[in-house]
Structure 1
Amino acid sequence: MNPSEEPRKRTARACDSCYKRKIKCDAAEPQCNWCSHHNLPCTFDRVVQRKRKPDEEESSRPKASRLAERISRIEQLLAENLMRDPTSEGAMEVPPLSDLATNASNSPTSSNTSISQPIISSTVGVHFAGRELGVMSLMTGIPFLLPEGQQWIQARTGQTISSDKLSPARAPWEKERGQISNSILMDLRSQDLFSLPDQRSVMLYFNAYRNSPVMRRVFPLVDADLFAETIQEVYQQPQSSFQFGQASSRACVIAFLAFVARLPPVKNKTLDSPFSYVDHESLAVKSQFLLSQVMQEPASLEGAQAVSLMTLYEISSGNMRACNYFGALAARLVFMLGGNLLHSRTYLPSDRGKKKRQQLRNLFWVCYTMDKDIALRTGQPPTIADENCDLTLPAGYLEAAYDTPEDERISFSQPVFPFDLRLSIIKSRTHSALYSISALQKSDADLLKSIRELDDELEAWRLSVPSPYRPTMSFTPEAVDPNVSMHSVMLRLNYYLCMSLIHSASSRCKAWGQGNHGMMDGVNSSLALSVEASRSTLCYLEAAEHVLVDGVFWTLVFYPMSALLAIFCSILSNPLDPRSRDDLDRLRLATQMIQRIFERKLPENEMEQLKMVGEFVSELKRLAECSIDKAWSEQSATLMSR
């Protein structure tokens, strides 16, 4: 090289061709080895952004500022949602969400804004295809949109979104019962809050429960022999007095009657009796009143049963706020009694002691399955940590898990519990590996590795299910389930929910914005599986409509609603995809399906909630349709301009 010539300035060690093909470049001049053999121009034109490490003080200040601004926006939006809730005391008039978002994003002093409502700082991001659309409040479980999410939806649809419908003060699958409970408690002030219901009503419903294999297998909340002793003990106590140590047994009897009186299979067996009418709302409030005293007594099986019964009562009533508290309290009582251990010395090794020990273990599994389900519905982390539990399945569970519990000819033997125990364990591991605070810090590679491992675990579970009951990986409108029943409905809906949860986590991958084509193939496939699972949820629920029993609205509505949200995001992300029109039809039919399935099953005083669900789905449908129309119009205009 002539010393007078300036050396070629390169911005990278590999030439553009070698860098694009990810092969080693020898950087020879004037052409590298690869470009020379393939007769390609050897250029070094791309610019490499080199990161310089500035002083610690300088680098931390802008990062902290951005973080503070983002947290401020989230907190203000959360406070705005709480203040907009008409059921909250002292609700305040606040500016529209769009104005609040603008002020929060433009004001440099927004982090210092004083808000009279409690600030909620713990949130989990809601992602889709690499975009953070909003957050899930860890206090209420409500999904609502950040300004970025609003802007994305408005950009994709060309429409102004209705925040009251798309981001309501309460999740569509949650019922506000606070005022109802308060009114009932005020009415009960003139009565004895410690009084017991008529014993004849208790025995009527207890015998109906005891003679129903499906109820005893799905909800093994009491042992028939032990609970009969509890009833006898409670009603032998003087009704005019209430002594320390009696709250747990009384609360257990009252909570049992409140819960089973809501169950149609039990209630239908009592219709011919003059003692069949039970005001379960009043009983639930009375049981809640007693629970404050239960917490002052030593932990007991009766106390744990009372709180577990109230947890199930509240989740079947749609009151997620109360059931979140009760679920945590029930788990704590079960732990105090040693129910989380396969073997413990809580009870003497007599026949009665073994029966109590078995019932405590059944109660642990009920609490465990409900804990994982409540976490999904509320956005809060599970209360029960797997590392503190012996998760050995009950003896004989796998052999009996797929007997049809609806068949009244089957005698009570092995509980099957509200949800498949192994699916509940997979839900727990999914939260820990994909949605816990530590999981949010994972790299793309680690995140995809966890998704792959959980997917393998879920598939191993599916293949272990006997073929007559095995869920198909996808369910289409043309498919048929020959063994459809309420048991199979819960099995399949939870399988598709797990599939969606596992694969929707791929939306957090940074590869969406980095153009890493090799990784994007896997990310796209994972997200497609999540959306397909959501489609299957809607298709299967419609196919199983004829086997749904009364009173399942609050138990089931969470599944189609979460599926609809995933399908809505899929349409907005790919409005020109051939399947988007079919998905739009699913949104159109969803309101009719939900109304058709649940309207005849829902009490008259809860029809307002069904109306709110309908408005939520209608808003999703309207925006999705606008997105497709906008995309096709833009494509047509582009083609015509060429």
Structure 2
Amino acid sequence: MNPQQSPGATTVRRAKACTTCRRKKTKCDGKRPVCSPCNAFNLPCGFQDVLRHSSRSSRAYVEELERRVQDMERQLQEQSHGSPEHRPSYAPTRRSNKRPRTTRANSPDQPGGLDNQSPFSASAAYEPEEDGVQSNSATEPNQASYVINADGKRMRFFGASSGFSIASPQGLTWLESQTRSGGWNHAGQRNASRWQLSNWYPRILRPDIQQRVFQPLPSKAATVELVSEYFASFNKAIPLFNQTLFNKLVDKQFGWNPDESPSWWAALNLVLASAYRERAQKSRDGSGEWQKSMGHIRNALNVVVELLMCAADLLSVQAMLGLALLFQNTPNPQPLFMFAAAAMRLAQSVGLHRKQESGLSPLQIEERRRIFWIAFSLDADISHRTGRPAVQDANDFDTPLPPKSPSDGLGVLRVQGVQLSYFHFLARFAVIQRQIYGQLYSATSSSKSVAEFAEALKGCEQMLREWRESFASNYSADLAFSLKPDYHLQHVLRLDAAYHCCYAKLYQLCILTRRSMARAPQDMEDPADLETQINDTIAKSLESARSAVMLIKHINSYGPAFVWGVVYFPAAASVTLSTHVLADPAHQLAASDLDMARQTIQFLNEVTSEEPGTYADYILGLCSELESAATKVLNPENSHSQQSTGYLNNFAPYIDTNRVSFADAAIPSNIGGFGTIGSTDIPKPGVLPQGYDIPSVDPTFDLAMNLQWPMAPFWNWGDAMPGVTVEDMGSEQ
């Protein structure tokens, strides 16, 4: 270095040979602008001069090196962007240590109409599908968000309201213009490398690796077989994992350097638990398979604290969703609520709720989209069934809907000889559930006038009808189950039952709207038309309630776990039917509706007899009370001889003694909030009992209650909970 130069000065080292001659390893005369060999053979010629800093320890020198590394990484990404092969989003990769992952919220959607629309955009997700590109100009002010990445797998999302949104592409562009420096381009990623996105987790709080194992992993051959069964069954309908990437991690698990991350350990054990559970349901004596399934669930539960404390990758979201999906089909819904909420929060942490394509391959983009919609569907279903707010804000996500025809065929099921885009319909229905909850059941809906509420009710019903028309074009329950039931039909059956139950719930809203109309008729512009609309919705909701109960005959074909996952739907539908009999006992279908309510009670009796002491007992008690009251209204002459001190007290649930006896079934007394109706007043036909009033709050709103009842030994929940016995599981206060 020239001693006269300042410490910050730089020098340029001119290249003696051009880039082409260096690559071809031929002699170059260094002639500029085109050397003689390149000129003779008409080849591109360029010289790569090197910028030398006077001090290698200077900040400018370090920034220049970082810029050059980032430029090379960006070029590699552009070259491999269209390649079908991509690195696992949850496997470490050296190449992506400093790769920026920014959210591109203002890029136009790809052609595809409905599939690429933001579900809550002005052109809602229920518009007819048309080819074309949707403009995202409305989302331009919301670009101040970004995702940082560390070690190729850990991610963090920062939204526009964050105090550090200055590190978003929009903010960095402004900083570069203000400081006239290009070093800001990767400021967020550069500082993320210091953080490594691993949260504070003291060693003293970390469990030993060996403490994870309660149920030993099977051999590699057995594991591969179980994993194959899972991907051929459950994952085909609910595409939670990528099979190619998962198999690579399985091979690594049985190699010399297995992945010891808590997210992989949980994901592997959840897949094994799901596969063992399906084997148990197909076997006459599946007790051994059930025990193995529970053992692997406990393995996964052993790392839940680690997942919550320090995991921030895609696989951790998948693991939490796997736990939620497993507990969805159990007698205890409480873990479903907790794991689904945690999964959605983790999904937001890694930016799955925002459309992100920069630096990702098409397969990675599709995988992130699928995981978000699985979390969103669970969140919407829980919110609608329990009447509780959802975790994901309905107005703060722009992830496109899953495509109808994905390239790998995941989420598409064969029903009645045709392809049904099941996962696409599931996501669309989840969006409808969220809109119905927000417009009809949320706290803000109570501030609407009668006319506004009726208009919202009409719009929600229209969304349900349009979804059903599209869904039913490839599906009919009677035809689908006319032959031997197929495994994947259980997913379609659950979605069908959820739709009918959702539609049936509109009945009570119609009754409440009719009451409001009677109290304030002067607020109605056209009460006759509104009354016609209400009557039509009542008729359609009752048809859906009957359809939901009729699906009971197909439910038992798929084993006890599936029964627990869908027991809510026919029970809630029977409440609508019993309520209708109470409100209109002179209806021509009142007797058949009451028979359907009794059929549901018989179904619930069978369920509760196998697993007593669960929330299903609450459902059974409530449905039995309603059925008893409806019977007294419909057949007063038969009920006069019954020994009763009240219409709703000391009831006896309906039991078909020709099939099975449940005389010892424990049914809670005095459940519900209906009060006591005078026991000495026998109602006249077609007249409600004196003092009876249709509940203003649906009693099935909170069927999946928070109570954690003690479980029967069949499920072994005490073994599945580390450090907790069955006796310790009391009801939530």
What TM-score range do you get, normalising by the shorter chain?
Answer: 0.5 to 0.7
Distance 1:619 1:428, change over 3 A: same
Q: CA deviation at 1:531?
A: 2.6
Asked whether 1:228 is paired with 2:247, we answer yes
Conservation of the 8 A alpha-carbon contact between 2:266 and 2:300: yes
Q: Give CA-to-partner distance per residue, 1:609-633, whole Å, 9 cap, x none.
A: 7666544433332222123244995
Conservation of the 8 A alpha-carbon contact between 1:371 and 1:384: yes
SS at match of 2:389: coil
Aligned partner of 1:585 in structure 2 is 595
Query: Which amino acid counterpart does residue 232 of structure 2 have in structure 1?
Result: P
Aligned partner of 1:430 in structure 2 is 436
Match of 1:395 among 385, 392, 403: 403
Q: Give CA-to-partner distance per residue, 1:421-465, whole Å, 9 cap, x none.
A: 211111111111111111221111111111111222222222223
Asked whether 1:566 is paired with 2:576, we answer yes
Asked whether 1:339 is paired with 2:352, we answer yes
When Rg is computed on C-alpha atoms for both structures, the one with the higher figure is: 2
Cα separation, 1, equivalents of 2:517 and 2:575: 23
Cα separation, 2, equivalents of 1:414 and 1:338: 29
Q: CA deviation at 1:533?
A: 1.5
Asked whether 1:199 is paired with 2:207, we answer no
Asked whether 1:312 is paired with 2:340, we answer no
Conservation of the 8 A alpha-carbon contact between 2:633 and 2:686: no
Aligned partner of 2:228 in structure 1 is 210
Match of 2:561 among 543, 546, 551: 551
Cα separation, 1, equivalents of 2:400 and 2:318: 21
Aligned partner of 1:458 in structure 2 is 464
Query: Which amino acid counterpart does residue 367 of structure 1 have in structure 2?
Result: A
Cα separation, 1, equivalents of 2:420 and 2:372: 15
Q: Give CA-to-partner distance per residue, 1:525-582, whole Å, 9 cap, x none.
A: 323332332122112333x357444521111101011111111221222233332222
Aligned partner of 1:495 in structure 2 is 499
Aligned partner of 1:373 in structure 2 is 381
Conservation of the 8 A alpha-carbon contact between 2:266 and 2:319: yes
How is 1:21-100 mapped onto 2 (pairs within 5 angstroms)?
none
Q: Give CA-to-partner distance per residue, 1:78-137, whole Å, 9 cap, x none.
A: xxxxxxxxxxxxxxxxxxxxxxxxxxxxxxxxxxxxxxxxxxxxxxxxxxxxxxxxxxxx
Cα separation, 1, equivalents of 2:685 and 2:397: 59
Asked whether 1:505 is paired with 2:509, we answer yes
Asked whether 1:323 is paired with 2:336, we answer yes
Q: CA deviation at 1:200?
A: 2.5
Cα separation, 2, equivalents of 1:417 and 1:203: 31
Aligned partner of 1:148 in structure 2 is none
Q: CA deviation at 1:384?
A: 1.7
Aligned partner of 1:260 in structure 2 is 275
Aligned partner of 1:469 in structure 2 is 475
Q: CA deviation at 1:304?
A: 0.9
Cα separation, 2, equivalents of 1:224 and 1:288: 23
Distance 1:468 1:358, change over 3 A: closer
Match of 2:628 among 607, 622, 628: 622
Conservation of the 8 A alpha-carbon contact between 1:251 and 1:287: yes
How many residues get paired? 425
> What fraction of aligned residue pairs are identical, expressed as a percent?
18
Aligned partner of 2:537 in structure 1 is 526
Moved more, 585-594 or 322-331: 585-594
Conservation of the 8 A alpha-carbon contact between 1:299 and 1:336: yes
Distance 1:434 1:288, change over 3 A: same
Cα separation, 1, equivalents of 2:410 and 2:500: 19
Aligned partner of 2:199 in structure 1 is none
SS at match of 1:490: helix
Asked whether 1:288 is paired with 2:301, we answer yes
SS at match of 2:277: coil
Moved more, 384-393 or 557-566: 384-393
Aligned partner of 2:550 in structure 1 is 539
Cα separation, 2, equivalents of 1:558 and 1:593: 11
Moved more, 458-467 or 443-452: 458-467
Q: Which ranges in structure 2 are unaligned for 5 or more consecutive residues?
A: 1-206, 639-681, 688-733
Q: Give CA-to-partner distance per residue, 1:12-40, whole Å, 9 cap, x none.
A: xxxxxxxxxxxxxxxxxxxxxxxxxxxxx
Query: Which amino acid counterpart does residue 574 of structure 1 have in structure 2?
Result: D
Cα separation, 2, equivalents of 1:206 and 1:359: 22
Q: CA deviation at 1:331?
A: 0.9
Q: Give CA-to-partner distance per residue, 1:183-225, whole Å, 9 cap, x none.
A: xxxxxx9995322743326763553443553322212222112
Moved more, 376-385 or 503-512: 503-512
Conservation of the 8 A alpha-carbon contact between 1:401 and 1:416: no
Distance 1:402 1:327, change over 3 A: closer
SS at match of 1:582: helix
Cα separation, 2, equivalents of 1:332 and 1:402: 24
Aligned partner of 2:310 in structure 1 is 297
Cα separation, 1, equivalents of 2:425 and 2:216: 33
Q: CA deviation at 1:281?
A: 2.9
Distance 1:467 1:398, change over 3 A: farther
Cα separation, 1, equivalents of 2:373 and 2:552: 26
Cα separation, 2, equivalents of 1:582 and 1:275: 43
Q: CA deviation at 1:354?
A: 4.7
Aligned partner of 1:105 in structure 2 is none
- Higher relative contact order, structure no. (Cα contacts within 8 Å, ≥ 6 residues apart): 1
Cα separation, 1, equivalents of 2:219 and 2:284: 9
Q: Give CA-to-partner distance per residue, 1:221-242, whole Å, 9 cap, x none.
A: 2211222233344555889xxx
Cα separation, 1, equivalents of 2:474 and 2:381: 26
Alignment root-mean-square deviation, CA: 4.2
Distance 1:195 1:333, change over 3 A: same
Q: Give CA-to-partner distance per residue, 1:221-269, whole Å, 9 cap, x none.
A: 2211222233344555889xxx9x82222222223323333235x8759
Distance 1:418 1:497, change over 3 A: farther
Query: Which amino acid counterpart does residue 321 of structure 1 have in structure 2?
Result: Q
Query: Which amino acid counterpart does residue 379 of structure 1 have in structure 2?
Result: G
Q: CA deviation at 1:500?
A: 2.0
Cα separation, 1, equivalents of 2:262 and 2:536: 55
Distance 1:584 1:357, change over 3 A: same
Q: CA deviation at 1:320?
A: 2.1
Aligned partner of 1:73 in structure 2 is none
Query: Which amino acid counterpart does residue 294 of structure 1 have in structure 2?
Result: L
Query: Which amino acid counterpart does residue 497 of structure 1 have in structure 2?
Result: C
Conservation of the 8 A alpha-carbon contact between 2:504 and 2:544: yes
SS at match of 1:343: coil
Conservation of the 8 A alpha-carbon contact between 1:320 and 1:378: no
Aligned partner of 1:250 in structure 2 is 265
Conservation of the 8 A alpha-carbon contact between 1:208 and 1:270: no
Match of 2:368 among 339, 360, 366: 360
Cα separation, 2, equivalents of 1:465 and 1:494: 13
SS at match of 1:381: coil
Distance 1:416 1:196, change over 3 A: farther
Q: CA deviation at 1:365?
A: 1.3
